[in-house]
């Protein structure tokens, strides 16, 4: 039985016959990065060639103009998260903010203790930083997560001891979009005098944030995840109840209250500030719109394709995130088939290290389903027409690849794949 399998080759230059007014290629990978909002670019432009001064130049109008831009941005960021301007430090991005938060606390509070708690599903910026601290003699607990991706609060409570100085748990996961119970985690930490850091890269500007209501002590923010520029971010550092102190990791002049030396990336910071202002204004309706689009994508796909599994809690999730495993179909081959759409996969074949997604692994998802996963990140500039097009192309490609798949064939014959002795299993 031979099938004439022809996969429609979408030409990225022209419109696909089914495109229906959709412009190709479509970008639906907004967790990787986001396009800059035109309003952000407009806000940044004067600071390249007219207001180009060094914001630390205290004695002339060029410096003052740059400083004003920076301080306006600082206010906008503080406002978005319920903080004061003195609590916002500018960095080169969330990776640096994570490094500063974790290493900064570790060094400053060394006398108090050497135990740090984090989670297995954290971004590498947190995990690799913790690994480095382990080399310096710190003890790190990497908490597991439940099947839906959430932290068990009782487990967290039990993990804390009198040497714990820091808990670092991300507010929203970049792969599966799952939202951790930040306020409850913060409360637990506050009660025990432990500093609570949250990597809020995917969270800020998408979910209402209040550092006081949510008991947050340190928070990492990224510009390019919220329609702002790459290469700039911020770290919120609590000043009151309690006051958090950090050892700087970059020395050289003592900028940003001694916590982060270096001439400020003024245009970038201005952009980050504007991105926050826009997010603040748009947040409620944008959140609804994104969730609507995401649910539309999910339903359209899952109503047509059997054996599709959502990874991570649907209830506690970023409104624009969807992560689905399509059994019997490998992720990279699926991406190749929808080559006019930008999304990403948890497949080993798509990672630099040839390891499947460790986040999916932490959920207990089998490696085979991890290899079959696709992450969709719907954002501000995606439309309903795009969602429908993406859904249809995914369905068509999965169906085509299942025809090509020996696993699908075996499953249809009633063979339980888990009982098979695979030739390649030795490794």
Q: Which of 58, 135, 243, 427 binds another protein (CB under 8 A)?
A: 427
Q: How far is the CB of 358 from another protein (least distance, A)?
A: 14
First to last CA, the chain: 33
Interaction between residue 407 and another protein (CB under 8 A): yes
Stretch of residues binding another protein (CB under 8 A), selected from 99-107, 152-160, 184-192, 349-357: 349-357
Q: How far is the CB of 305 from another protein (least distance, A)?
A: 16
The Cα-based distances of 376 to 90, 231, 384, 390 in angstroms read: 30, 24, 14, 10
Q: Which is nearer to another protein, 201 or 350 (CB)?
A: 350
Interaction between residue 6 and another protein (CB under 8 A): yes
Alpha-carbon distance of 273 to 165, in angstroms, equals 31
Q: Which is nearer to another protein, 251 or 409 (CB)?
A: 409
Interaction between residue 9 and another protein (CB under 8 A): yes
Interaction between residue 5 and another protein (CB under 8 A): yes
Q: Which is nearer to another protein, 162 or 425 (CB)?
A: 425
Stretch of residues binding another protein (CB under 8 A), selected from 3-11, 117-125, 227-235, 313-321: 3-11
Q: Which is nearer to another protein, 127 or 401 (CB)?
A: 401
Joined together, the tokens standing for residue 101 give 């938060």
Interaction between residue 1 and another protein (CB under 8 A): yes
Is residue 349 part of the annotated active site? The answer reads: yes
Q: Which residues contact 23 (CB under 8 A, 6 or more apart)?
A: none
Q: Which is nearer to another protein, 154 or 306 (CB)?
A: 306
Active-site residue, selected from the candidate residues 130, 189, 288, 349: 349
Q: What does DSSP assign to residue 373?
A: E
The binding track of 319-348 with respect to another protein, each residue x by CB under 8 A or -, is ---------xxxxxx--xx---------xx
Task: Count CB neighbours of 396 within 10 A.
Answer: 16
- CA atoms within a 13 Å half-sphere pointing along the CA-CB vector of 112: 15
Task: Count CB neighbours of 56 within 10 A.
Answer: 14
Query: Which of 178, 179, 140, 146 shows the shortest CA–CA distance to 159?
Result: 140
Alpha-carbon distance of 356 to 315, in angstroms, equals 25
Q: Which is nearer to another protein, 344 or 382 (CB)?
A: 344
- CA atoms within a 13 Å half-sphere pointing along the CA-CB vector of 99: 15
Q: Which of 42, 384, 409, 415 binds another protein (CB under 8 A)?
A: 409
Q: Which residues contact 38 (CB under 8 A, 6 or more apart)?
A: none
Q: How far is the CB of 119 from another protein (least distance, A)?
A: 24
Alpha-carbon distance of 6 to 266, in angstroms, equals 52
CB < 8 Å & 24+ apart, contacts of 284-291: 286/206, 286/380, 287/206, 287/207, 287/319, 288/319, 290/206, 290/319, 290/320, 290/378, 290/379, 291/319, 291/320
Q: How far is the CB of 337 from another protein (least distance, A)?
A: 8
The binding track of 277-316 with respect to another protein, each residue x by CB under 8 A or -, is ----------------------------------------
Q: Which is nearer to another protein, 215 or 345 (CB)?
A: 345
Q: 243 burial class (0-12, 13-18, 19+ CB within 10 angstroms)?
A: exposed
Stretch of residues binding another protein (CB under 8 A), selected from 19-27, 44-52, 82-90, 400-408: 400-408
Task: Count CB neighbours of 421 within 10 A.
Answer: 5
Cα angle, residue 227 at apex, residues 225 and 229 outer, rounded to 5°: 80
CB 89 within 8 A of CB 99: no
The binding track of 356-395 with respect to another protein, each residue x by CB under 8 A or -, is x---------xxx--x------------------------
CB 310 within 8 A of CB 177: no
Q: Which is nearer to another protein, 75 or 396 (CB)?
A: 396
Interaction between residue 14 and another protein (CB under 8 A): no
Interaction between residue 184 and another protein (CB under 8 A): no
- Would you name the residues annotated as active-site residues? 349
Give residues in contact with another protein (CB under 8 A).
1-3, 5-7, 9, 328-333, 336-337, 347-349, 354, 356, 366-368, 371, 403-409, 417, 422-425, 427
């Amino acid at each position: 039985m031979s099938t004439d399998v022809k996969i429609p080759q979408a030409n990225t230059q022209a419109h696909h016959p089914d495109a229906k007014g959709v412009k190709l290629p479509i970008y639906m990978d907004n967790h990787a990065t986001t396009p800059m909002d035109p309003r952000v670019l407009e806000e940044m432009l004067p600071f390249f060639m007219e207001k180009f001064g060094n914001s630390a130049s205290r004695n002339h109008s060029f410096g003052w103009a740059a400083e004003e831009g920076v301080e306006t941005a600082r206010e906008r960021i503080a406002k978005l998260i319920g903080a004061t301007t003195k609590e916002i430090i500018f960095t080169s991005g969330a990776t640096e903010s994570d490094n500063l938060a974790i290493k900064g606390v570790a060094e400053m509070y060394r006398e108090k203790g050497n135990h740090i708690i984090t989670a297995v599903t954290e971004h590498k910026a947190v995990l690799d930083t913790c690994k480095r601290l382990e080399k310096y003699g710190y003890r790190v607990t990497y908490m597991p997560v439940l099947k839906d991706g959430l932290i068990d609060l009782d487990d967290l409570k039990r993990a804390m001891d009198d040497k714990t100085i820091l808990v670092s748990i991300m507010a929203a996961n970049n792969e599966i979009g799952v939202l951790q119970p930040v306020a409850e985690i913060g409360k637990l930490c506050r009660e025990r005098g432990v500093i609570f850091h949250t990597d809020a890269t995917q969270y800020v500007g998408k979910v209402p944030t209040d550092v006081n209501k949510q008991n947050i002590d340190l928070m990492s923010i990224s510009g390019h995840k919220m329609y702002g520029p790459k290469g700039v971010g911020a770290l919120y550092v609590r000043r009151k109840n309690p006051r958090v102190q950090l050892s700087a990791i970059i020395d050289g002049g003592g900028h940003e209250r001694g916590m982060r030396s270096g001439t400020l990336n003024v245009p970038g910071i201005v952009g980050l500030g504007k991105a926050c202002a826009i997010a603040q204004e748009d947040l409620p309706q944008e959140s609804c719109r994104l969730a609507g689009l995401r649910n539309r994508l999910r339903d359209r796909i899952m109503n047509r394709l059997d054996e599709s599994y959502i990874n991570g809690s649907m209830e506690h999730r970023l409104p624009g995130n969807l992560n689905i495993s399509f059994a019997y179909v490998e992720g990279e081959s699926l991406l190749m088939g929808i080559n006019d759409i930008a999304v990403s996969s948890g497949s080993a074949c798509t990672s630099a290290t040839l390891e499947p997604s460790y986040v999916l692994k932490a959920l207990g998802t089998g490696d085979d389903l991890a290899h079959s996963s696709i992450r969709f990140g719907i954002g501000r500039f995606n439309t309903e027409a795009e969602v429908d097009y993406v859904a249809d192309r995914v369905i068509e490609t999965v169906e085509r690849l299942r025809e090509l798949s020996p696993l699908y064939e075996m499953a249809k014959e009633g063979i339980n794949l888990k009982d098979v002795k695979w030739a390649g299993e030795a490794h």
